[in-house]
Chains A and B, each alone.
Chain A
């Protein structure tokens, strides 16, 4: 296998990992404003992703940086093409990241609700817009000989791109709902599990539509390939498992569904990375955007040595925080950052640095 193909595969793993891991914390971020009935439940929902969301976001950073290092021309065209969309994504990431830290800073329902909604909206916008971008890359955009996008912002909102965005949104909601049902107890758990089933059936229809549209767009008929069939079946299975109260398996199936959806899109794309609607000769491909072989060799060594280490310690952190969160824990003994504060030094007002106390 040529190294540039290997790096397309590695980058695909990072994107799939991002959509699975950050996918469920986007989902929880969106859902927490709707499924939680009171402040305690909202805290539980946020605390369920509190320890891990930051590490999950790094999957996005690395997925982007890998394109930069391994496929510089793809990076240049992709990021300049989706300029305005990425500005919105960056703002959403910013608002979302800040919301986690600031939400608990002021004990005022309006303050909390403002940051809570920022978290919800930010968590929804990111998968939607990144999904649109992925859809566009496969569907094709007017890209000229110099690999520059010649259209405007509205030209990015292709129907297929939008449907891909909605598909990602639905998958994140399903991931989030099943994850939350895994991490909670009592009435919040029951409510969110019922919701998982509902979201699952809707997601199944959306994913089926996505798969079919992909095929019609590519002119390859109605029959899905194995990866696409897997996507639809896994989402259906997830919905069914949620309705029979098997939340662990429902979550795992939803994750397999993400592998199917993102994996099939990237598989259809390969060996291209961005399709040109002007002329197939202008397509960006793995071969014509890749870095030199020396760079790819260096990166391969670094990835082979360090990526397994990352998987081990991230896995360990999920193991440490494996328990379900329930009301007394979230509000009292082990509050975590979004619970009450027990640090007495922080009773005083903030220092002149402008940073708030607790």
Chain B
């Protein structure tokens, strides 16, 4: 009961925290781009835009930092046994994050906010790039720590059966880390650029500062489209990596109760599929797609939940090792479908921009502020898929 409460609390605070983090990472990068445009071209509009979106960034950072502090404290407060056992491994990346990334981010953010008239243009520009770099660096340490929870590496068990770190490099070459870190960075760029696009569209629709906001709409689309495509690609690779190390996560995400030997179909939707209904009604079956997604091969083998459960019982002793299949199945689909919708929307925006009709397209400008919800939902779904399936 109390473990459930602690889980709920951790899930709630994590999800809340991760509403702000991707905006910070994405916007810091975009604001740095805007300021670089001002630095190189000298166009004062870019200076105003930098300051305008810089304000949004600041509000986000403030909340992101304090909600992140909650996360760090929670490990000691709610998960003290976990901390005691694996702090020597898990605590390392957290301490490094503080020392290498947080100091950098916070100090140079202070210099950037207050340094407009005190620093040379070049040094001031370097400050925002250091902030942007530090936000990405900080994500690396957190993702390394999280990836260790997904796929533990670089440790040995000591005599008292406690894991002891013996190879720090392994934490940062963990395949789960490499792919999930890049995926998280791309998702952050998607989130940041959609926020910028939405704000720009909101103002364009009201005919305010059209020249300025057409520029930010352009910058955001230029970042958004490649980031989305890469995020989809990297996400699907991450699926293959996870199928290798955490087959149960993928089996549950596909409600694949029994092993499928080859050409496993992917279902777009399903009805049922829970533990009491292991033969769900599958709608829109796409032949062999699941094999391709999970193994990069059209005839790859996808292990079933029941078989994996039996294996786990044999390995770790009796227990239920099956995650909530409903959450797994739908969080994976919500994430993927939202990404596809965002991509379609972004391509539409780019097409309008190319024909110089973005400012007049009432529908696009009307939808954009709502489209900003998509990355937040997709990010949350992504973390539910990752954590619920762990």
Binding site for B on A (CB under 8 A): 47, 50-55, 57-58, 61-62, 64-66, 68-73, 75-80, 83, 86-87, 90, 93-94, 97-98, 100-102, 147, 291-292, 294-295, 298-299, 302-303, 306-307, 310, 313-314, 317, 320-321, 333-334, 336-337, 343-346, 348, 351-353, 355-358
Contacts and interface: CB of A to CB of B under 8 A. Distances in A.
Given A55-B106, A101-B58, A299-B92, A79 B63 contact: no
A109 to B, nearest CB: 21
Given A51-B110, A76-B81, A68 B91 contact: yes
Interface string B65-102: 11101101101111011011111111110111111101
Interface of B: 48-49, 51-52, 55-56, 58-63, 65-67, 69-70, 72-73, 75-78, 80-81, 83-92, 94-100, 102-104, 106-111, 113-119, 158, 164-166, 168, 195, 198-199, 202-203, 206, 208-209, 212, 369-370, 372
A62 B95 contact: yes
Contacts of A76: 76, 80-81, 83-84, 87
Contacts of A321: 114, 118
13 contacts: A54-B61, A57-B65, A68-B90, A68-B95, A70-B95, A79-B80, A86-B73, A93-B66, A298-B168, A317-B111, A334-B116, A345-B52, A351-B369
B241 to A, nearest CB: 25
Contacts of B372: 352-353
A98 B62 contact: yes
Given A68-B91, A77-B80, A317-B107, A343 B72 contact: no
Given A55-B103, A353-B372, A317 B110 contact: yes
A285 to B, nearest CB: 15
A358 B55 contact: yes
Contact of A79 (B56, B73, B199): B73
A348 B158 CA distance: 62
Contacts of B109: 54
A75 B76 contact: yes
Contacts of A294: 164-166
Main secondary structure of the interface of B (DSSP, over half): helix
B191 to A, nearest CB: 11
A337 B95 contact: no
A306 B96 CA distance: 9
A299 to B, nearest CB: 6
A68 B75 contact: yes
A1 B202 CA distance: 62
Contacts of A75: 75-76, 80, 83-84, 87, 91
Contacts of A314: 103, 107
Given A76-B81, A298-B165, A62 B87 contact: no
A172 B212 CA distance: 45
A62 B102 contact: yes
A290 to B, nearest CB: 8
A314 to B, nearest CB: 5
Contacts of A295: 88-89, 91-92, 164-165
Nearest to B87: A72
**Best-buried of A102, A294, A320 by chain B (most CB within 10 Å):** A294
A47 to B, nearest CB: 8
B56 A310 contact: no
A72 B113 contact: no
A72 B111 contact: no
Contact of A306 (B99, B117, B166, B202): B99
B307 to A, nearest CB: 36
A356 B59 contact: yes
Contact of B110 (A50, A72, A299): A50
B106 A73 contact: no
Nearest to A352: B369
Nearest to B51: A343
B114 A51 contact: yes
Given A90-B70, A298-B165, A337-B114, A62 B63 contact: no
A70 B99 CA distance: 14
B66 A98 contact: yes
A333 B209 CA distance: 25
Contacts of A101: 58-59, 62
Given A70-B91, A72-B86, A291-B87, A58 B98 contact: yes
B99 A79 contact: no
Nearest to B49: A345
A62 B165 contact: no
Given A76-B87, A97-B62, A102-B59, 16 more contacts: A54-B65, A54-B107, A55-B106, A64-B73, A66-B98, A69-B87, A70-B95, A75-B87, A90-B70, A93-B69, A97-B63, A307-B99, A313-B104, A317-B108, A336-B114, A351-B202
Contacts of B107: 54-55, 58, 310, 313-314, 317
A334 B113 CA distance: 11
A62 B106 CA distance: 13
A298 to B, nearest CB: 5
Contact of A68 (B52, B87, B102): B87
B59 to A, nearest CB: 5
B209 to A, nearest CB: 6
Nearest to A291: B88
The 8 A-B pairs of least Cβ separation, nearest first, read A72-B87, A79-B76, A69-B91, A291-B88, A68-B91, A76-B80, A352-B369, A351-B199
B52 A69 contact: no
Given A80-B77, A86-B73, A348-B206, A65 B97 contact: yes
A303 B96 CA distance: 8
Contacts of B166: 294
Given A86-B77, A333-B117, A337-B114, A69 B202 contact: no
